[in-house]
Amino acid sequence: MKKINETNKWNPTIYNKHTAFVSQMAFSVVDLLDPKKGERVLDVGCGEGTLAIEIEKRGAKVIGVDTSKEMIEQSKAKGIEAYVCSATDLPYDKEFDAVFSNAVLHWVKDAKSVVQNIAKVLKNGGHFVCEFGGEGNVYYVVSAMQEVFEKHPEFGEFNNPWYFPSVEEYRRVLELEGFRVEYIENIPRPTPMDDIANWLDIFANGVTKHLTKEQFEVFKKECREILKESIYSQEEGWVLDYRRLRVRAVKI
Ligand code: BEZ
């Protein structure tokens, strides 16, 4: 991952240091994709290529796309054919047997446009398998951010940059764009993190990019204080309240 928001630059070294879990926890999504030898798979938001490699190991040919130039360079260095481009502007037409996406689609609020693009690039009968944040994802974290913004009117309005749909809502988006949903589930997946401050450094940019450096430090400190009550314990450390929406759908 592989943020779709073009205004954000990822530093793969910092990203990989704190978030290796993003790919490691997603091998079961590759199982759901069940790639076959000779298939062509588009990996939307391929990031630094860990899952693309896993898919190629199973015999398929992967094309990776991501909005981050830095991530694409990392994917290419691992031997993946990869291009900088956005999920809402995929330059392909009915040429993939499957589209795969992990931990990316919650960055794009225009889900209809993403799903339309995915339908366009798939062959008839092709599969779309994805996992991303579902309804209730990082609920405590988003609530804490909101609380800190409310306490500091000088921070301006709180804008939630993420799309965490319910099962019903996403099923509707898929069906309206010509998919039959074979499987869809919202799964709790508590996710350990070394420190919530690092998570905020990496992921809160869409919420805090207009803050000064000093304001951002206040923001992090106060979020951390609030969240110590809900997602931190001495025994387990920081465990974020992730929920994954996991989907397999076929283009009809
Ligand atoms: C997620 O993977 O669920 C996620 C990552 C960053 C920000 C929000 C959600």
CATH number for the domain spanning 107: value is 3.40.50.150
pLDDT score for 191: 94
> Which residue, among 139, 81, 133, 73, has the nearest Cα to 104 in the 3D structure?
133
Q: Tell me, yes or no, whether 6 lies in a domain.
A: no
Residue 5 predicted with pLDDT over 90: no
Mean pLDDT of the chain: 93
Of ligand 1's atoms, which has the minimum distance to the CA of residue 242? 3
Q: Tell me, yes or no, whether 168 lies in a domain.
A: yes
Helix (H) or strand (E) holding 229: helix 213-231
pLDDT score for 16: 61
Q: Tell me, yes or no, whether 204 lies in a domain.
A: no
DSSP calls for 125-162: EEEEEEEEE-TTTTHHHHHHHHHHHHH-GGG-------
Q: Using 50, 70 and 90 to split pLDDT, how confident is the model at 25?
A: confident
Residue 3 predicted with pLDDT over 50: no
Q: Tell me, yes or no, whether 29 lies in a domain.
A: yes
Q: Whose CA is nearest to atom 2 of ligand 1?
A: 103
Helix (H) or strand (E) holding 184: strand 179-188
Answer whether 191 contacts ligand 1 (Cβ < 6 A): no
Q: Using 50, 70 and 90 to split pLDDT, how confident is the model at 119?
A: very high
Residue 180 predicted with pLDDT over 50: yes
Q: Tell me, yes or no, whether 36 lies in a domain.
A: yes
Number of domains the chain contains? 1
Answer whether 162 contacts ligand 1 (Cβ < 6 A): yes
Answer whether 216 contacts ligand 1 (Cβ < 6 A): no
Q: Tell me, yes or no, whether 223 lies in a domain.
A: no
Among residues of the chain, what percentage have pLDDT more than 70?
Answer: 90
Q: Using 50, 70 and 90 to split pLDDT, how confident is the model at 207?
A: very high
pLDDT score for 94: 98
CA of residue 195 to ligand 1 center, whole Å: 15
**Rounded CA Rg of the chain:** 18
Determine the Cα–Cα distance for residues 114 and 77; give it in Å rounded to an integer.
Answer: 27
**Whole-prediction pTM:** 0.91
Of ligand 1's atoms, which has the minimum distance to the CA of residue 204? 7
DSSP conformation class of 123: E
Domain extent at residue 49: 12-138+162-192+243-251
Q: Tell me, yes or no, whether 235 lies in a domain.
A: no
Answer whether 170 contacts ligand 1 (Cβ < 6 A): no
For 150, counting Cβ atoms within 10 Å of its Cβ (0-12 exposed, 13-18 middle, 19+ buried), the class is exposed
Answer whether 203 contacts ligand 1 (Cβ < 6 A): yes
| Residue 158 near residue 142 (C-beta atoms within 8 A) | no
Q: Tell me, yes or no, whether 37 lies in a domain.
A: yes
The dihedral formed by the CA atoms of 184, 187, 192 and 197, expressed in degrees to the nearest 10:
80
CA of residue 188 to ligand 1 center, whole Å: 13
Residues 6+ apart with CB under 8 A from 56: 62, 80
The phi and psi torsions of 120 (rounded to 5 degrees) equal: -65, -35
pLDDT tens per residue, range 62-94: 999 999 999 999 999 999 999 999 999 999 999
Of ligand 1's atoms, which has the minimum distance to the CA of residue 133? 3
pLDDT score for 217: 98
